[in-house]
Amino acid sequence: MRFEIFAAKRLIKSKNSGYTSYIIRIALVAVTLCVAVMLVSLGVLTGFKDAVREKISGFGSHMQAVRFTAYGAYSDSPMKADNAVIEQVQNLKQVKNVTPVLYESGVIINDNTFHAVLLKGITSSFDTSFFHSSLTSGCMPQYSNEGGQQILISQNIADKLNINVSDRIKVQFFTDAMMRSKRFTVSGIYQTGLSDYDERFLICQSAVLENIFSLDSGACTCYEITLKDFSMLESGADAVYAALPQDMTVQTVRQAEPNLFSWLDLLDSNVVLIIVIMFLVTVVTLSGVTLILIFEKKKTVGILKTMGVKNSIIMRIFLIRIGWLAFVGTAAGNVLALVLELIEKYTDVIKLDPQSYYLTSVPVTINVFHYLVLDIAVLAVCVLCMVIPARSINKISIVKNLRFE
């Protein structure tokens, strides 16, 4: 066993004065709380951004392949779905699913009350998992002849127009310079918390809209593309664009909602500020403890120097002692953060206003990588920063401290 490790173990096990022992306990609690705050902040930030991105992407996928008009703007006029293009995009390594979607605007009329809406016509290839998870009652519209009369509405619209599951509602459409109406049966009601979307979107079969607007079978407004991972958004958009015809382009969810994603990116700076402050508190706390320990063990330092032990070795002894304190505090902080995150993850103790935050409770993502990186960073920074106060050992006089009682 190396001498500094042996001496550091004896130093850890040795009894400290009441004052020093009290300071060490405070430092341990401070390190624990700082590490826990940093981990919980990262978990909440990651969970919040993932949850909001998932909700936004649930309505319009990660990106849409749309046509250009002659003036360079996006076209919302229907086109014939091209299976060759769909297959080519589907075969890209970043792409999980491609589905044609038909959008048409309309007006719900119920008991002389009007509400403008946007109907999203979907096919059997559409991934309905997002809307399934957002259902508050009822079910998704079925893909059958009877299901063609079914529609999914939001809780916001249902509350405004006093609509319940299984109710019959009338939707009016403006087409060919005339009004057309269609009656639907409400199959289910959903709520996502994204009020801007919940106020507008209705889900029905694409074939119903094709029939109302006299469109050819397989008509669509755009192709909605879901990626295997959101982190592939930029590379996926480039790959999809290269696979599309010249009269089509890609609009990512970031481009469709720039203000929302700018707000999410701004949250990163808040968490960075919290982490920096917690790091500073940890470093200052452990620096103070290092100086207090060296002051209390002056006589021990003097004895080691008379035995010919180099200052660098004595410094390493105290660094190991402080490193052990930082390790225990970091481990305790990990446990505390994990407990708090699990409680919030499975009980939703902390509630949010969905009108402001798009979510009903604080989401948490437990990421092992965050724990490992933060733990290594905390221990490394603490030990490196302790070198400065530990250098005070060089100024300790052997004669004065051996005579000190």
Instruction: Report the pLDDT value the prediction gives residue 179, as an integer from 0 to 100.
Output: 82
- Tell me, yes or no, if the pTM score tops 0.85: no
Instruction: Report the pLDDT value the prediction gives residue 336, as an integer from 0 to 100.
Output: 96
Considering the domain architecture, whether residues 34 and 100 belong to the same structural domain is answered as: no
| Residue 70 included in any domain | no
Name, in order, each residue with C-beta under 8 angstroms of 306's C-beta and a sequence gap of 6 or more: 398, 402
- Please state the domain count of the chain: 2
Contact criterion met (CB below 8 Å) for 54 and 62: no
Considering the domain architecture, whether residues 204 and 317 belong to the same structural domain is answered as: no
| Residue 67 included in any domain | no
Q: Which helix (H) or strand (E) holds 86?
A: helix 83-90
Cα distance between residue 260 and residue 351, in whole Å: 21
pLDDT below 70 — which residues of the chain? 1, 3-19, 69-75, 144-148, 176-177, 294-315, 388-405
Instruction: Report the pLDDT value the prediction gives residue 404, as an integer from 0 to 100.
Output: 47
State whether residue 339 is helix, strand or coil: helix
Contact criterion met (CB below 8 Å) for 341 and 364: yes
| Residue 157 included in any domain | yes
| Residue 242 included in any domain | no
Q: Which residue(s) pair with 223 in the sheet?
A: 65, 100
| Residue 39 included in any domain | yes
Instruction: Report the pLDDT value the prediction gives residue 218, as an integer from 0 to 100.
Output: 87
Cα distance between residue 379 and residue 322, in whole Å: 10
Cα distance between residue 136 and residue 156, in whole Å: 11
State whether residue 76 is helix, strand or coil: coil
Structure tokens, 201: 């979107």
Q: Which domain holds residue 309?
A: 3-55+261-402
Contact criterion met (CB below 8 Å) for 222 and 98: no
Dihedral sign computed on CA atoms, order 188, 194, 198, 201: negative
Instruction: Report the pLDDT value the prediction gives residue 291, as an integer from 0 to 100.
Output: 74
Cα distance between residue 137 and residue 187, in whole Å: 9
Q: Which residue(s) pair with 154 in the sheet?
A: 190
Contact criterion met (CB below 8 Å) for 316 and 340: no
Instruction: Report the pLDDT value the prediction gives residue 290, as an integer from 0 to 100.
Output: 75
| Residue 193 included in any domain | yes
